[in-house]
Every structure is written in C-alpha cells, then in structure tokens.
C-alpha cells in the first residue's frame, strides 16, 4: 500500500519505472540485478553461493541498516538517490578507498567451494559503487592479491600469475583477462577443495561495510 501511494504522487516517468523495476526484481528474487535485500543475512537463493546465509556486507549492509525490512523504505531511498544530484566529497572517496583496500577472503567472502567466483562478484560489486571505478586490470590484480591471503596452495598460484601471467588466461590483445583468470583459479580451488586441502570458513560479519 505504501508503495502504491508513493507511486501515485510521483509524476516523473523514469522514477515510476524505477519503482516498478525494484518491486519486480524483489518479487523475482533477482539479486544479481539489484533486488533489495530485506533480511540481515543473504537469502538462501542469493546468486553468490558463498554468501548465502552470511551476514550482509558492504553496500547491502548499509542499505539494510538504513531501510530495514521495509521494501517501501528501500524504494524511497533509491528514489532519493536517483532524484537528486550526487555530490562527491573527499570523505566519500576515502571511504571507498578504505573498503577497497580492506577486501580480503576473511573479511569479504569467506572460504567456500566457489570462493574465487564469489570474490570476483564481490570485487565487481564494490568497484561499481565507486565514484570512479577501477579499470578492469586493477580489478584483476586485486583479485590475485586477495587470493594471496588464502590457503597456501592457492596463494602460490596467485603469486605466480602476478609474476608471470599465463598466456591462455589472457585476452586476444594480450592483456590479462579477469574472466579467464577467475575461471582458471576456480578450477585449481575446486581441485584442492575436493582433496580436503581447503576447508570452509565464514567471512567476518560486516567487516567490509562502508562507513
């Protein structure tokens, strides 16, 4: 009812479309497309398996702290953000840089069977929320740096890749490919996982949230 009433008082066609989109995404549990999360933990259907059931982190945690379990409040917060110009302060940038610097396996995604894939998703999510996103190669370097803080078998692979990138993990133009590197590291990770070398461990609650 609150959303319907809000919709009736808005004359901007793009904002009305945004309301309808958020409601549609939420009802369809389309988390990867930006559906608001109304619980303190990631849903069992969340697209990043490693985060399912884990406490919210980053922008998701901030949104829940501000809007709680009310879809109407999440919609209103999005409309306020979309309907007014964003002013970027030095503190905004500093907070974003701190969040980026503090990303780690233990703080951000934990240890699970699909950790490399989950880490890529998390890095891309945090990067997309920056005022000035890092270029793709910087995301790739960060991915490998974070893996160096993981199990020693994977840390060694990540260090080797940073020092001497594999040819089959590169793009056609010779630059490093984030997608190919993640896929390759995921294969190594799952092999060690099946051997029992890597064991599960949840991420620290809220350790990588925005200030």
The tens digit of pLDDT for each residue in 106-156 reads: 888 889 989 999 999 889 888 887 878 899 999 999 999 999 999 999 999
Q: How far is residue 102's CA from residue 119's CA, in Å, rounded to a whole number?
A: 13
Please tell me the pTM assigned to this model: 0.59
Contacts of residue 184, Cβ cutoff 8 Å, sequence gap at least 6: 166, 168, 169
Residue 30 · residue 40 · CB < 8 Å: no
User: Which residue, among 125, 17, 154, has the nearest Cα to 63 in the 3D structure?
Assistant: 125
pLDDT in tens, 51-108: 888 888 767 887 888 888 998 888 888 777 655 444 555 657 778 888 899 999 988 8
- The closest of 121, 4, 2, 21 to 78, measured between CA atoms, is 21
DSSP string covering 141-204? HHHHHHHTTS-HHHHHHHHHHHHS--GGGB-TTSSB-HHHHHHHHHHHHHHHHHTTSS--BPPP
Handedness of CA 168, 128, 58, 46 (dihedral sign): negative
């Amino acid at each position: 009812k609150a959303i319907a009433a809000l919709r009736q008082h808005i004359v901007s066609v793009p904002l009305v479309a945004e309301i309808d989109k958020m409601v549609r995404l939420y009802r369809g549990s389309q988390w990867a497309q930006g559906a608001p999360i109304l619980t303190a933990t990631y849903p069992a259907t969340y697209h990043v398996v490693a985060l399912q059931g884990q406490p919210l982190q980053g922008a998701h945690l901030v949104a829940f702290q501000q809007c709680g379990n009310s879809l109407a409040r999440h919609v209103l917060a999005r409309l306020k953000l979309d309907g007014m110009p964003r002013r970027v302060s030095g503190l905004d940038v500093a907070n974003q840089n701190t969040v980026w610097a503090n990303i780690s396996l233990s703080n951000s995604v934990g240890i699970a069977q699909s950790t490399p894939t989950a880490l890529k998703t998390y890095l891309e999510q945090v990067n997309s929320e920056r005022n000035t996103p890092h270029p793709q190669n910087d995301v790739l370097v960060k991915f490998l740096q974070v893996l160096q803080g993981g199990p020693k078998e994977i840390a060694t692979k990540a260090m080797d890749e940073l020092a001497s990138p594999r040819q089959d993990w590169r793009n056609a133009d010779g630059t490093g490919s984030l997608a190919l590197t993640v896929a390759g590291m995921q294969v190594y990770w799952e092999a060690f996982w099946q051997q029992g070398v890597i064991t599960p461990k949840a991420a620290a609650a809220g350790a990588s949230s925005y200030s």
